[in-house]
Structure 1
Amino acid sequence: MSTILLSVDNDESRAKSQAKSLTRLDFDPESTHVRLFHVFTDNPSGASVTQVGSVRRAKEILENAGYAVSLEGQSGDPAEEILAAAEEHDVDAISIAGRKRSPTGKALFGSVTQEVFLNTDLPVLLTSASTTE
């Protein structure tokens, strides 16, 4: 069985696009497990990953396509948590969505996508920041 770590942020349209993109790839839903992962950067009220709309939307799309889906939420630095979860769960690939940012924005603030991509030996499935319904 293959395991994919699909990391989603709070953007529901981006999470839906990401889940739909995964269903279009040549993975067998019966032999692929998707770990739907969300990183809380600020969670003072102790929200659960099941309360995040983007997580619920992506889960619905993946389950409707026949994938087994588990949910996980962590708090901290998104790139560090994504990489730690990928290692902990021995996943076969990481799926993340890029954001449209200027070169200056990337240089000043970094990029989760860039950090994950540069710090893993795993395949990284990158979904475009532009979304379509």
Structure 2
Amino acid sequence: MYRVLVPVDDDVERALAQADYVAGLPDAAESVEAVLLFVFTGDTSDLPEDVQQFKSATRVQSVRRARERLEEAGVSVQVRDDSGDTTEDILEDAEEFDADAIVLGGRKRSPAGKAIFGSVTQSVILNTDRPVVVTGGGGD
């Protein structure tokens, strides 16, 4: 089984591009297992307990759409969510899941924008020894 970690953000087009890439892998329906990961950022620990129950990746549209696309292609899919530092969570989940590859959704950003705001994609690429695929998607 070929395992891929697919960290998605809230951009539906990027998530669909990532799902399309995974679905297009050779013999995907029979030999690929995908984990969709959504990382909640920001401090939500002060939310009331009854609201915390709704903080789930399955409620995020980009995750739902990517999952549907993969399931339509016959790819085995599971959804996970995490909270905290996006890069660290991606790297930890890739290790825990023993991912054969990480499929990220890239976006256009200027070199200055990367320097000022950081780049999750760049950080993941520089801090893993696993293969990383960066798909396009979205109009940004």
- Alignment TM-score, normalising by the size of structure 1: 0.92
- 1:115 is aligned to 123
Match runs of 1:6-17 below 5 Å: 6-17=6-17
Separation in structure 2 between the aligned mates of residue 103 and residue 116 of structure 1, nearest angstrom: 17
How much is the aligned-residue C-alpha RMSD, in angstroms? 1.4
1:70 aligns with 2:78: yes
Q: Which runs of 5+ in 1 are unaligned?
A: none
Deviation of the 1:26 alpha carbon: 2.2
Alignment deviations for residues 31-52 of structure 1 (CA, whole Å, 9 cap, x no partner): 2110111101034443111101
Query: How many percent identity over aligned positions?
Result: 50
AA partner of residue 55 (structure 1)? V
- 1:103 is aligned to 111
- Residue 19 of structure 1 contacts residue 58 of structure 1 at CA under 8 Å; is this kept in 2? yes
Alignment deviations for residues 67-113 of structure 1 (CA, whole Å, 9 cap, x no partner): 01000000011111000000111111101011211110101111000
AA partner of residue 90 (structure 1)? D
Q: Which has the larger radius of gyration?
A: 2
Say which SS state the counterpart of residue 70 (structure 1) adopts.
strand
Say which SS state the counterpart of residue 64 (structure 2) adopts.
helix
Separation in structure 2 between the aligned mates of residue 9 and residue 32 of structure 1, nearest angstrom: 21
Separation in structure 1 between the aligned mates of residue 115 and residue 27 of structure 2, nearest angstrom: 35
- 2:21 is aligned to 21
- Alignment TM-score, normalising by the size of structure 2: 0.87
Separation in structure 2 between the aligned mates of residue 129 and residue 61 of structure 1, nearest angstrom: 15
Deviation of the 1:21 alpha carbon: 2.1
